[in-house]
Amino acid sequence: MARQPLGDMYAMTPERAREYGFVSYYNHTGSEASDKLANNITLTSEEWAQLLTSPVQFILQSGGWGGAGFDVTVLPQLLLCLPWTLAFLIFRIFAQRQLSRFGLWLQVVVPKDGSKATLNNAQRRKLRKFQNQVWLTAYYIISAVFGYAVQCTKPWFGLPVSESNRIALLTPHPYKPDGGLMCYYQSGLGFYFSEMLALPVENDIRRSDFVEYFVHHIVTCALIVFSHCSYEHRFGVYVLFIHDASDIMLAAGKVINYVVSAERKRAQRLKSNGGGDKQTKAKPSLLYRVIFNETTVNVCFVLFTLFFVFFRLVCLPYLALANIVYGVKIRMFTGSYCLLIILLQGVLQGLHVYWFTLIMKIVINSLTGRRVDDIRSEDDDDGDGVEGQAVPKNSKPHRE
């Protein structure tokens, strides 16, 4: 593949870039093989010791300090995220009716007389949760495909990133993103804004990790804004993609699990009532039997766990080799660059480790035969019991 001329990749002139501290010391010779000979980016054992024991001093000695490294003049470019935010919110509102019909058809909840108007509060909450997960499944699939399409041919893209990918993430700098990358940036920021606006409104969808979830969205939005103003779009689009890709199976698994758990509860009630409650008996279609079953739920959970570990606990830490280890040799450090490292490899990765402990808790509980719940979402009685009575939570272990 022919290389794009370096001059077309720079967002500003070298003189103006130096004023902001956007400096790369990498010597581009025209070929990858020659680049390796012309640039020494390997840390010696002494340099590793300095980086680990005196990182600030080593960074200042290696690449120097470029100041804040924040170009506020490009902030208006992100204003196009507002139409995306509005579009996502409008879609959620207008899609609720159709998604609720879909949930009733799949018997996530069963009204007494078949009318949604007779649903009690617990049933409405459960239906709202189902609607939300269907929406998230659709978004993550579309966004992941879009994110992959706009960067799969770029020199920095790799799963996980290789040495050449890491170099391409850092240089040339400041990098000028194309229209596709900016559209992905703006839509991603719009999505997270819409989710944060929806969280307080949808207070009936209770989460036990509400604070962590909200902090995650704030950090992600901050990463998008800071990376945009410091021309670190390559890091930004990569992180957005691995987040979207890793969340697909989580949302899809929850959608399927809502249907399966509802069917399981109805079967329990029929058994306890001696088969007398005919109104709540499910009428499974072929699609229901093929897709909505315990095996599919378990497969989704296994795939989600594998994707989560690979994308968030393997691919994301690999970026540290670029923005920290290679960065000290290639780039002049700035305040925005340091903030990017802290948010990306500190706060965001810390949240991922926390959520991984929750995943492992589910795995351990499942293997030991204990109750397995969605520990990121508080349990609701669905109110589908006989004569409007909720099924006791301790009646039998179940997923929620």
Task: Give residue 387's pLDDT.
Answer: 36
Task: Give residue 213's pLDDT.
Answer: 79
How large is the average pLDDT for residues 124-150? 93
> Which are the contacts of 265, defined by CB distance < 8 A and separation ≥ 6?
382, 384, 391, 398
369: its two tokens = 């035969």
Identity of the residue numbered 357 = T
Contact 254, 390 (CB under 8 A): no
Question: Does residue 359 lie in a domain region?
Answer: no
**Coil, strand or helix: which one is 388?**
helix
* DSSP 8-class letter at 375: T
- 0.75 surpassed by pTM: yes
> Which are the contacts of 158, defined by CB distance < 8 A and separation ≥ 6?
165
pLDDT confidence tier of residue 307, bands split at 50, 70 and 90: very high
Quick: pLDDT tens for 235-284. Answer: 999 999 999 999 999 999 999 999 998 888 888 888 887 655 554 454 56
Task: Give residue 211's pLDDT.
Answer: 79
Task: Give residue 138's pLDDT.
Answer: 94
Cα(131)–Cα(92) distance, integer angstroms: 9
Domain that holds residue 262: 71-271+287-330
Quick: pLDDT tens for 47-95. Answer: 999 988 998 888 888 888 999 999 999 999 999 999 999 999 998 888 8
pLDDT confidence tier of residue 372, bands split at 50, 70 and 90: low
Contact 58, 50 (CB under 8 A): yes
Question: Does residue 133 lie in a domain region?
Answer: yes
Contact 78, 228 (CB under 8 A): yes
Look at the block and give the residue holding tokens 């499944």.
137
Quick: pLDDT tens for 333-355. Answer: 999 999 888 888 888 889 899 98
- Mean pLDDT, the chain, rounded, equals 83
How large is the average pLDDT for residues 177-201? 91
In the predicted structure, residue 150 carries a pLDDT above the cut 70 = yes
Question: Does residue 201 lie in a domain region?
Answer: yes
Domain count within the chain? 1
Question: Does residue 177 lie in a domain region?
Answer: yes
pLDDT confidence tier of residue 400, bands split at 50, 70 and 90: very low
Task: Give residue 385's pLDDT.
Answer: 45
- Left (φ > 0), alpha (ψ -120 to 50) or beta: where does 380 sit? beta
Cα(195)–Cα(197) distance, integer angstroms: 5
In the predicted structure, residue 389 carries a pLDDT above the cut 80 = no
Task: Give residue 238's pLDDT.
Answer: 95
Task: Give residue 2's pLDDT.
Answer: 45
Question: Does residue 61 lie in a domain region?
Answer: no
Question: Does residue 326 lie in a domain region?
Answer: yes
Question: Does residue 43 lie in a domain region?
Answer: no
pLDDT confidence tier of residue 393, bands split at 50, 70 and 90: very low
* DSSP 8-class letter at 67: -
In the predicted structure, residue 311 carries a pLDDT above the cut 90 = yes
167: its two tokens = 């170099």
Largest CA distance in the chain: 82
35: its two tokens = 């680049």
Question: Does residue 382 lie in a domain region?
Answer: no
